[in-house]
Structure 1
Amino acid sequence: MPRLGAVSLLVRDYDEAIAFYVGKLGFALGEDTDMGGGKRWVRVTPKGGETSLLLARATTPDQDARVGDQAGGRVWLFLETDDLVRDHAAWSAAGVVFRETPRDEPYGKVVVFEDLYGNAWDLIEPARTGD
């Protein structure tokens, strides 16, 4: 059965992106392979997740212009958590930029944050069925 293995994310620098996703958000570094010519195959995955981000260093002016704006300013990626309050507090302390305060929605608790380049993400604690 097909599954989504990775989503490509344009970055300016591999190491600064690894520092953000692994160091601040707590993702696992799944792979960092030198491909030669300054190119690396770098995959980071939320702990317990299956789909990775493939960190792709921008190499052309067009790609560089899209770093931080891969979705035209809209929320682009949706990261689920089992404890939004815990992660919001830890990430705030680590310097992650939040665009708002956490809020309750019919689908759960949610807050919008930015990655190191300004891409907007939703951090979501899904509502529990039966509550």
Structure 2
Amino acid sequence: MDMKLEVVILPVSDVDRALGFYVGRLGWRLDADFPINGSYRIVQVTPPGSECSIIFGTGLTQQEAGTLHGLQLTVTDIVKAQEELTSRGVEVSGPFRDETGAFHHAGDAHRVPGPHPERASYGTFAAFKDVDGNEWFLQEVTERAPGR
């Protein structure tokens, strides 16, 4: 049976401010905005080219706003992606690689500035945070691993 990740719930403190960031600043597609009542609102947005969306709102999660770290967006050119985000007013750290050459550690203590020396797929990252502090990573993938 196929199981596809379709939605991730994102904890935010202010729904309209988050909507302004993800749709207004990042330019993500607004799929739905359902204000059910004063204590329950569902907003769904989708990054360009993604089959997975994020949902945020009121009454959706007990997780504290800004506590989701490690969400990842895959890009084919990390420098262009960083330039685009920066042009939209988003502060982006990177590009960087992990000192191990593998997937990035939590935090920034093990980051080596600059892209992977050979620009190897899966080896270069950048990071940014939303208005609540939820942390997103960009990972450059130019050639998929077999079976992906």
TM-score by length of 1: 0.78
Provide the rounded CA distance (Å) in 2 between the counterparts of 1:25 and 1:125: 18
* Conservation of the 8 A alpha-carbon contact between 2:35 and 2:41: yes
Tell me what 1:35 maps to. Answer: 36
The within-5 A match list for 1:51-130 is 51-57=52-58, 63=63, 66-70=64-68, 75-98=69-92, 100-103=93-96, 104-105=115-116, 106=120, 107-128=122-143
SS of the residue corresponding to residue 124 of structure 2 reads strand
Task: Show structure 2 runs of 5+ residues with no match.
Answer: 97-114
Provide the rounded CA distance (Å) in 1 between the counterparts of 2:75 and 2:50: 10
With 4-13 and 30-39 compared, the bigger mean Cα shift is at 30-39
* Conservation of the 8 A alpha-carbon contact between 2:12 and 2:65: yes
**Which of the pair is proportionally richer in helix?**
1
CA shift, 1:110, in A, is: 1.4
RMSD, matched Cα? 2.4
The amino acid that maps onto 1:84 is: I
> Deviating runs (4+, > 6 A) in structure 1?
none
Task: Show structure 1 runs of 5+ residues with no match.
Answer: none
Specify the structure having the higher radius of gyration (Cα): 2
The amino acid that maps onto 1:90 is: E
